Amino acid sequence: MTTTENASTLFKTISRRFKLGELLTDPDPLSGGLLHKMFLLQTTTGTYAIKLLNPIILSRPTARQNFIDSERIVTALAGEVSALPALTINGSALHQIGTQYYLVFPWVDGLTLPIDQVTPNHAELIGEQLAQIHTADLSSLPIQQTAASPESPVPWDTFAEKIRQQGHTLLEPYWTDLKRIKRWDNEASSALKQLRGTSVLSHRDLDAKNVLWKSGAPILIDWESAGPIHPMHDFLETILYWSLDEQNHVRRDHFEAFVKGYHAAGGRLDYPLEPALSAGYASKLGWLAYSLSKALHLEPVTEKEQQVAVQQVHETLKALKDYEALCPIILE
């Protein structure tokens, strides 16, 4: 059986399980994130988005439960904010065919916004949405309500040695920045320990690519990162997503609009600023480590995926340096 035939069989099985009707066209690949694959599925009952989850990600010990928990969070919040949960069968959103896990979503005719099209009004609306997430009572959900202990230390020196062994000249900038990377990692680890006493269940990746806009209103999508986080950490990461321009400069009107929306919807900000800022390195460092693993063939990748990973290493290093330069400005 060919790859195309396998894919056709997979989508027909998904359609049958969810009673979506007969496929009208071949599934259409959608552009999107770097972790999973999205497809547009048109059937006799409607239009759907199918997310095929990365098998390597799902092979991790806690990954399956994390997806289950994230869908519980978005389902619970759907009555509080404009969130898009996956469809469920027998109370479960995460399903499996062979080794392939997947999620099914109703199709939404919305658009994501590039940075230069984000206005202060957009920022204010996202501030409102974030406050509504933070003030929602999700204490009855049967999931971990506080952030887990920090994971095992990232093997930054091992990555450096692998780069040397492989003679990977495109990754040599990593060598130059290794001391800074370790310092950022130490700062983030220390900050996350300080922040562990308080947490909310939130989206945790509410940037522009994860918000669809329809008739001027936001629809929050891609909740797989959802989980516990300190509210000030979440607030700072999200406000920067919606107030920075393409040159990494803070747009004051966007920043103030976000704060206005957050306060108007009941959000409060009486938490220390410095540890929350330092915690902001953590997600970027996590993505750097993931990209390095793929760039160095430490997990199965295609040649194209490896090339993308190398580019992501460069982009993430720049993002970390930009963030370091931004922190003193935020503290002013």
**pLDDT tens per residue, range 214-223:** 999 999 999 9
Q: How confident is the model at residue 32 (pLDDT cuts 50, 70, 90)?
A: low
Structural domains in the chain, sorted by start:
3-106 (3.30.200.20), 115-331 (3.90.1200.10)
Average pLDDT, the chain: 93
pLDDT tens-digit map of 150-194: 666 899 999 999 999 999 999 999 999 999 999 999 999 999 999
52: its two tokens = 């095929």
Q: Is 145's pLDDT higher than 90?
A: no
CA distances in angstroms from 8 to 44, 56, 239, 271, listed in the order given:
16, 22, 42, 52
Residues 6+ apart with CB under 8 A from 195: 147, 230, 232, 233, 275, 276, 279
**pLDDT score, position 37:** 93
> Residue 150 has what pLDDT?
63
In angstroms, rounded to a whole number, what is the distance separating the alpha carbons of residues 160 and 171?
9
Residue 91: predicted pLDDT: 85
Rounded Cα distance between 104 and 120, Å, is 33
Looking at the DSSP assignment, which residues form a beta bridge with residue 217? 214
pLDDT at position 282: 96
Strand, helix or coil for residue 262? helix
Q: How far apart are CA 238 and CA 206, in angstroms?
A: 6
Better-scored residue on pLDDT, 211 or 61: 211
**Residue 311 scores a pLDDT above 90:** yes
At residue 58, the pLDDT reads: 92
Q: What pLDDT is recorded for position 153? A: 87
pLDDT in tens, 260-309: 999 999 999 889 999 999 999 999 999 999 999 999 999 899 999 999 99
Q: Residue 105 above 70 pLDDT?
A: yes
pLDDT of amino acid 4? 47
Please give the average per-residue pLDDT across 316-331, as a whole number: 96
Strands, DSSP E only, in 183-317?
200-202, 211-214, 217-220, 227-229
Question: What pTM value is reported for the model?
Answer: 0.93
Share of the chain above pLDDT 90, in %: 87
Is 218 strand, coil or helix? strand
- The rounded distance, in Å, linking the Cα atoms of 119 and 45 is 36
Per-residue confidence (pLDDT) for residue 33, from 0 to 100: 72
How many Å apart are CA 309 and CA 292, to the nearest integer?
Answer: 7
Distance CA 42, CA 116 (A): 32
Lowest mean pLDDT among 88-92, 97-101, 130-134, 177-181: 88-92
